[in-house]
Amino acid sequence: SENEPSWETPCSELLVYVSTPGCDGFPSLGSKENYKLSVSKGSMLLSAETIWGALRGLETFSQLVGRDENGTYYINVTEIVDFPRFPHRGLLLDTSRHYLPLRAILETLDVMAYNKFNVFHWHIVDDPSFPYESSTFPELSKKGAFNAMTHVYTASDVRTVIEHARLHGIRVIAEFDTPGHSLSWGPGAPGLLTPCYMGQTPSGAYGPINPIVNSTYKFVTSLFQEVSSVFPDFFLHLGGDEVDFTCWKSNPEIRDFMVKMGFGEDYKKLESFYIQRLLDIVSSLGKGYIVWQEVFDNNVKLRPDTIIHVWKDNHMEYLKEMANVTRTGYHALLSAPWYLNRISYGQDWIEAYKVEPLDFEGVSEQKALVMGGEACMWGEYVDVTNLTPRLWPRGGAVAERLWSNETVRDVEDAYTRLAEFRCTLLRRGIQAQPLYVGYCDHEFGGV
Amino acid sequence: RYCEYMFGRSWGRTWGRGPLAAREEPELFQLQVVIEAGDPGCERHPQLGSNEAYHLTVTEPVAVLKAPEVWGALRGLETFSQLVHEDDYGSFLINVSEINDFPRFAHRGVLLDTSRHYLPLKSILTNLDAMAFNKFNVLHWHIVDDQSFPYQSIYFPELSDKGAYSSNLVYTPTDVRLVIEYARLRGIRVIPEFDTPGHTQSWGKGQKNLLTPCYNGGQPTGSFGPVNPVWNTTYDFMTKFFKEISSVFPDEFIHLGGDEVDFSCWKSNPEVREFMKRQGFGVDYAKLESYYVQNIVDIVSSYNKGQMVWQEVFDHKAQLKPDTVVQVWMANNYAHELSSVTGAGLTAVLSSPWYLDYISYGQDWKKYYSVEPLKFPGSEKQKKLVIGGEACLWGEFVDATNLTPRLWPRASAVGERLWSSSNVTNLEDAYRRLRHQRCRML
């Protein structure tokens, strides 16, 4: 009857119904994340096809619960039918430029789940350090980590990350970036990197992985055999970005090889030679791969289900690149406008929010090849002392752009919701920084 | 507290070693601290004129830290603690050293803004520690502004009752005393800024009839502008308010603000326009601003406090006391402004190149480090009038969640520029030392 107070019967239970079993499995690119949430007087029901959808719905449900001035928790009558716009909504963390302790990674996974991110792109090794403890090649981290005792990820650590991610519906895609960005591999794998030359003599410096010796491919096969079994996701990220040809050019054996192969002076062909062999190795291990855009730009022969990761952002060129990649028939991931490590004064989340990943010339079948995108937090200036405030709530702008409908773009409305979400993060114990002036009911106490 | 800084939690453990234990290496047993002045000043507050020089001699078995005043001893103790390092086996070492040190500039400050975002006490105190590690000696507390009024006033409790973000986001008299004492123990002055007549929206919540009512077409719009300079009640209020401030904050100086006054509301108000006519100010509202500022200057002077002001107060030609400190903050051609201010015989504090809230990608500490404050056209006498500078961390995008990583170690670059000699400019060397300082602060 109309005069009854609307909250007379306290609701104490959220019923969760998942139609397809699969709680023990891993989320994948194809996982369905749809869910339905019905909140009415006397009943609350969350239903989803898969457990992954249920997780998304549970997060939404938790955000709908409010608390009034008397301390009573309440929720409005609601009907929600929700599903993501893009299936690949990722966040990149870089644990080579600075080591990130396990707790920082696990906390980031928690907040990713609050934002419905579903891919953790773990850029685990690079030039400065090799923190990944390999069982096949223990020398890699022993000689290549910042500190082999304290700044490494043991097999157990890696398992912990993967399982913690899984429980939050997050895929872990490891990136072992080659042939460039690999200086830290050198100390633990003598003979792997190209010795650079000054004239006729080695200078003592090293460059990218040496593409002309068989030992390289033997090594790479063994390492990726291990990586393929350690990381359960179907995809591996193989890197392939920013290969500096200077060292290769300086090496006489490599110059001879170039002549022998008829590559002329085009070192992109040598890069392709390496990458193609790497891709074959990884395919034979039963994995799919993601590569940075240079691999596509340099005309490497790729498998049709390769995912190209678009990251270069000189004057909005990335939309052209997205068009080229998808027109050629490859899948694409967008990161270029979402380099969250590139901080600047003011509300830069707005620029990230306004990005429209499909704003390029192309037919709808082409646009369907865009799998989603990733916010990147490169580590040159980031470690555990500033990771969380730098990442959140700015990352939320990217998360919404990747999940929500294309039409959800009003900046003022987004500001209101993101500012409130930031207060929610504080309440959940996350050190998220402010968007602008103001305050939250639960302030952060300070370090 | 320095024992813990130097030796960590382990200092209790190593202390147990007796002096008779056979040791091969020379051992340092003691740091003697000698304060040379008859009255060392331990009970007083640091001032602009305090002597921060010190002489440190490290030899075995006893090191000696000598300073004319306790403030120099604090600086020397910080230096001594930075000289102590740990070897791979857990032994603490220090090199034989002889250091004669003193600051280049006497005013080395950090500005914190607790109005755009409330900063919990813990944040402020942690920041005071970090300042001491970097030999900063002034906390410029920009305590209230448009957005919120967290300062709990004894005479006017409504100001924070109505003007703070919320009732628990305030600084009680106890909180304020704690900050001042915590700072004092580290040789840091606390200069409060109560910025008027602009930047005062939050004052109007708890103090009716203070701000200027804005008009449109002869009718009040309901919104308010800067403090109303034509009412007597304004000056009655300010007289009482600054009496409290003068007694709560022991430093010789109070910062009066005076920046970014928007004249449009004044222009719209018929009483104000009438006043302009009567005073013969024409349509030059800068004159009205100066009229206001001069009244506040007189009020504050009567409480025996010196004044600091933002540069606009000087630019708009208000008549200031000769010992007024002008804070130069506008980025555009600040060298020229330093010439003007010091050319007029006033002391200057530089902030323009050191707005640390202006974050950008990469190693921006280098550009802060490369500033040369005295690089402006002027005589030797003029250059002496530049007493230092302040790194400013405005709070629009800063609160306790990101204050410490945003301010440090970038502010350290400013700290060295203000303490060290003008020829200490090598960036590579600075990088090496700053990296160590950062790890030390961790």
Residue B14 has pLDDT above 60, yes or no: no
What CATH number matches the domain at B30-101, 3.30.379.10, 3.40.190.10, 3.40.50.11890, 3.10.310.10? 3.30.379.10
Q: A95 and A152 in contact (C-beta within 8 Å)?
A: no
The amino acid occupying position B39 is D
CB contact under 8 A, B403 and A446: yes
CB contact under 8 A, A445 and B126: no
Other Cβ atoms closer than 10 A to B229: 24
Q: Does B398 touch chain A (CB under 8 A)?
A: yes
Residue B69 has pLDDT above 90, yes or no: yes
CB contact under 8 A, B117 and A433: no
Ranges of residues in chain A with a pLDDT under 50 are 1, 4
Q: Which token pair is A307?
A: 């995912």
Closest partner residue to B359 among A345, A388, A441, by Cβ?
Answer: A345
Percent of chain B with pLDDT over 90: 93
pTM higher than 0.90, yes or no?
yes
Q: Does B283 touch chain A (CB under 8 A)?
A: no
Q: How much is the pLDDT for A42?
A: 84
Sign of the C-alpha dihedral, residues B193, B194, B200, B206? positive
Catalytic annotation present for B260: yes
Which residues lie closer than 8 Å to A210 by C-beta, 6 or more apart? A191, A192, A193, A194, A195, A216, A254
Other Cβ atoms closer than 10 A to B277: 11
Sign of the C-alpha dihedral, residues B352, B354, B356, B361? positive
Q: What is the mean pLDDT of residues B94-108?
A: 97
- B residues 309-368 near A, CB within 8 Å? 357-363
Range picked from A339-348, B6-15, B29-38 for highest mean pLDDT = A339-348
Strand partners, A333: A309, A372
Q: A90 and A119 in contact (C-beta within 8 Å)?
A: yes
Contacts of B359 in chain A (CB under 8 A): 343-345
Q: A109 and A162 in contact (C-beta within 8 Å)?
A: no
What stretches of A99-254 adopt beta strand conformation (E)? 119-123, 171-178, 193-198, 201-209, 235-239
CATH number of A15-82: 3.30.379.10
Q: Give the β-pairing of A193-198 and A201-209.
A: antiparallel
For residue B61, is the peptide bond before it cis, meaning its omega torsion is within 30 degrees of 0? Answer: yes
CB contact under 8 A, A443 and B120: yes
Give the C-alpha separation, A372 to A335, whole Å. Answer: 9
Burial (Cβ within 10 Å: 0-12, 13-18, ≥19) of residue A365: exposed
Confidence band of B19 (pLDDT split at 50, 70, 90): very low
CB contact under 8 A, B401 and A344: no
The class (CATH top level) of B107-441 is alpha beta
CB contact under 8 A, A437 and B116: yes
Q: What is the mean pLDDT of residues B348-366?
A: 98
Which of B169, B182, B401 to mutate: most A Cβ within 10 Å? Answer: B401
Give the C-alpha separation, B204 to B187, whole Å. Answer: 35
Q: Which token pair is B317?
A: 């030609």
Residue of B nearest to A342 (CA): B361
Q: pLDDT tens digits, residue range B151-193?
A: 999 999 999 999 999 999 999 999 999 999 999 999 999 999 9
Instruction: Tell me which residue has tokens 């102590």.
Output: B84
Other Cβ atoms closer than 10 A to A148: 18
Q: How much is the pLDDT for B39?
A: 86
Q: Does B155 touch chain A (CB under 8 A)?
A: no
Give the C-alpha separation, B10 to A433, whole Å. Answer: 34
Q: B291 and B261 in contact (C-beta within 8 Å)?
A: no
Q: Does B396 touch chain A (CB under 8 A)?
A: yes
| Inter-axis angle of helices A155-167 and A102-114, nearest 10 | 10
Q: How much is the pLDDT for B23?
A: 56
Contacts of A429 in chain B (CB under 8 A): none
Q: How much is the pLDDT for B12?
A: 54
Closest partner residue to B118 among A342, A436, A439, by Cβ?
Answer: A439
Closest partner residue to B123 among A432, A435, A446, by Cβ?
Answer: A446
Q: Domain residues of chain B, as ranges? A: 30-101, 107-441
Q: Which of B232, B157, B241 is closest to B195 using CA atoms? A: B241
Which residues lie closer than 8 Å to A47 by C-beta, 6 or more apart? A16, A17, A18, A19, A35, A36, A38, A57
Q: Which token pair is B89?
A: 């086996």
Q: Has domain A88-407 been given CATH number 3.20.20.80? A: yes
Burial (Cβ within 10 Å: 0-12, 13-18, ≥19) of residue B49: exposed
Q: Domain residues of chain A, as ranges? A: 15-82, 88-407
Which residues lie closer than 8 Å to B88 by C-beta, 6 or more apart? none
CB contact under 8 A, B123 and A437: no
Sign of the C-alpha dihedral, residues A388, A392, A398, A404? positive
Instruction: Tell me which residue has tokens 């090199």.
Output: B95
The active-site residue out of A163, A242, A317, A351 is A242
Closest partner residue to A439 among B165, B360, B442, by Cβ?
Answer: B165
CB contact under 8 A, A444 and B126: no
Contacts of B403 in chain A (CB under 8 A): 446
Q: pLDDT tens digits, residue range A85-138?
A: 999 999 999 999 999 999 999 999 999 999 999 999 999 999 999 999 999 999
Give the C-alpha separation, B195 to B309, whole Å. Answer: 9
Q: How much is the pLDDT for A41?
A: 87
Give the C-alpha separation, A103 to A429, whole Å. Answer: 13
Sign of the C-alpha dihedral, residues B35, B37, B39, B45? negative
CB contact under 8 A, B400 and A445: yes
